[in-house]
Chains A and B, each alone.
Chain A
Amino acid sequence: MTADARKAHWTLYLYCGWLLLPLYWLLTMAVKRNQDITGTLEVIPARPTLDNFVEIFTNPVWYEAFANSLTYVVVNTLVSVAVALPAAYAFSRYRFLGDRHLFFWLLTNRMAPPAVFLLPFFQLYSAIGLFDTPFAVALAHCLFTVPLAVWILEGFMSAVPRELDEMSRIDGHSRAWFFFRIFIPVIRSGIGVTVFFCFMFSWVELLIARTLTASDAKPIVVVMTRTVSAAGLDWGVLAAAGVLTILPGIAVVWFVRRHLVKGFAMGRV
Chain B
Amino acid sequence: MRNDKAWLAVLPVVIVVAFTAIVPLMTVVNYSVQDIFDVDTRIFVGLDWYRETLRDPRFIDALLRQVLFSGLVLAIEVPLGIWIARAVPREGPATAAFLIVLAIPLLIPWNVVGTIWQIFARPDIGLLGAAVTAIGLSYNYTGSALDAWITLLLMDVWHWTSLVALLAFAGLASIPRACYQAAELDGANAWQVFRYVELPRLRAVLTIAVMLRLMDSLMIYTEPFVLTGGGPGNSTTFLSQYLTTMAVGQFDLGPAAAFSVLYFLLILLLCWLFYTSVMKGGADDR
A/B: CB atoms within 8 Å of each other: yes
| Most B Cβ at <10 Å: residue of A9, A253, A260, A264 | A264
- Asked if B84 and A15 make an inter-chain contact with CB atoms under 8 angstroms apart, the answer reads yes
Q: Which of B96, B100, B124 is A38 in contact with, Cβ under 8 Å?
A: B124
Q: Which residues of A contact B4 (CB under 8 A)?
A: 96-97
User: At the interface, yes or no: B43 with Cβ under 8 Å from chain A?
Assistant: no
- Give the residue name and chain of the B residue nearest to A246 (CB): B108
Q: Which residues of B contact A112 (CB under 8 A)?
A: 21, 25, 264, 267
Expressed in whole angstroms, the Cα–Cα distance for A242 and B109 within the complex equals 9
User: At the interface, yes or no: B41 with Cβ under 8 Å from chain A?
Assistant: no
User: At the interface, yes or no: A230 with Cβ under 8 Å from chain B?
Assistant: no
Expressed in whole angstroms, the Cα–Cα distance for A99 and B14 within the complex equals 12
User: At the interface, yes or no: B226 with Cβ under 8 Å from chain A?
Assistant: yes
- Asked if B27 and A123 make an inter-chain contact with CB atoms under 8 angstroms apart, the answer reads yes
User: At the interface, yes or no: A231 with Cβ under 8 Å from chain B?
Assistant: no
- Asked if B119 and A25 make an inter-chain contact with CB atoms under 8 angstroms apart, the answer reads yes
Q: Which of B25, B88, B222 is A12 in contact with, Cβ under 8 Å?
A: B88
Query: What does the 1/0 interface line of B241-258 toward A look like (CB < 8 Å)?
Result: 101100110000100110
In the complex, what's the smallest C-beta–C-beta distance from A193 to chain B, in angstroms?
11
User: At the interface, yes or no: A72 with Cβ under 8 Å from chain B?
Assistant: no
**How many B residues have CB within 8 A of the partner chain?**
98
Expressed in whole angstroms, the Cα–Cα distance for A146 and B17 within the complex equals 8
Expressed in whole angstroms, the Cα–Cα distance for A93 and B5 within the complex equals 12
User: At the interface, yes or no: B132 with Cβ under 8 Å from chain A?
Assistant: no
Stretch in A45-53, A54-62, A198-206 touching the partner: A198-206
Q: Which of A16, A22, A109, A235 is B102 in contact with, Cβ under 8 Å?
A: A16
User: At the interface, yes or no: B47 with Cβ under 8 Å from chain A?
Assistant: no
User: At the interface, yes or no: A214 with Cβ under 8 Å from chain B?
Assistant: no
Expressed in whole angstroms, the Cα–Cα distance for A117 and B225 within the complex equals 18
Expressed in whole angstroms, the Cα–Cα distance for A93 and B111 within the complex equals 40
Q: Which residues of A contact B187 (CB under 8 A)?
A: none
For window 130-148 of A, CB contacts with B under 8 Å fall at 139-140, 142-143, 146-147
- The verdict on A267 contacting B174 (CB below 8 Å), with A204-B107, A206-B111, A206-B222 known, is yes
User: At the interface, yes or no: A171 with Cβ under 8 Å from chain B?
Assistant: no
- Asked if B9 and A87 make an inter-chain contact with CB atoms under 8 angstroms apart, the answer reads yes
Expressed in whole angstroms, the Cα–Cα distance for A116 and B246 within the complex equals 11
**How many A residues have CB within 8 A of the partner chain?**
96
Expressed in whole angstroms, the Cα–Cα distance for A252 and B103 within the complex equals 11
Expressed in whole angstroms, the Cα–Cα distance for A115 and B2 within the complex equals 39
In the complex, what's the smallest C-beta–C-beta distance from B152 to chain A, in angstroms?
14
User: At the interface, yes or no: B193 with Cβ under 8 Å from chain A?
Assistant: yes
- Asked if A111 and B267 make an inter-chain contact with CB atoms under 8 angstroms apart, the answer reads yes
Q: Which residues of B contact A87 (CB under 8 A)?
A: 9-10, 12-13
- Asked if B218 and A267 make an inter-chain contact with CB atoms under 8 angstroms apart, the answer reads no
For window 213-248 of A, CB contacts with B under 8 Å fall at 220-221, 224-225, 228, 235, 238-239, 242, 245-246, 248
Expressed in whole angstroms, the Cα–Cα distance for A4 and B184 within the complex equals 12
- Asked if A224 and B267 make an inter-chain contact with CB atoms under 8 angstroms apart, the answer reads no
In the complex, what's the smallest C-beta–C-beta distance from B190 to chain A, in angstroms?
5
Q: Which residues of B contact A265 (CB under 8 A)?
A: 170, 173-174
- Give the residue name and chain of the A residue nearest to B256 (CB): A119
Question: What would be 17 A-B contacts, judged by CB atoms less than 8 Å apart?
Answer: A1-B183, A18-B158, A79-B16, A90-B7, A94-B2, A96-B3, A109-B20, A118-B248, A119-B253, A146-B20, A206-B110, A235-B125, A242-B108, A246-B112, A257-B99, A264-B170, A265-B174
- Please list the residues of chain A having a beta carbon within 8 angstroms of any beta carbon in chain B: 1, 4-5, 8-9, 11-12, 15-16, 18-23, 25-26, 29, 37-38, 41, 43, 79, 82-84, 86-87, 89-91, 93-97, 99, 102, 106, 108-124, 139-140, 142-143, 146-147, 150, 200, 203-207, 211, 220-221, 224-225, 228, 235, 238-239, 242, 245-246, 248-250, 252-254, 257, 260-261, 263-267, 269
- Please list the residues of chain B having a beta carbon within 8 angstroms of any beta carbon in chain A: 1-7, 9-10, 12-17, 19-21, 23-25, 27-28, 31, 83-84, 86-90, 95-96, 98-112, 115-117, 119-120, 124-128, 130, 158, 162, 166-167, 169-171, 173-174, 180, 183-184, 190, 193, 204-205, 215, 218-219, 221-222, 226, 239-241, 243-244, 247-248, 253, 256-257, 260-261, 263-264, 267-268, 271
Given contacts A12-B84, A206-B222, A221-B110, 17 further A-B contacts (CB under 8 A): A15-B84, A89-B9, A97-B4, A111-B271, A116-B261, A116-B264, A117-B25, A120-B27, A122-B248, A124-B27, A204-B106, A204-B109, A221-B111, A224-B115, A235-B125, A253-B104, A265-B173
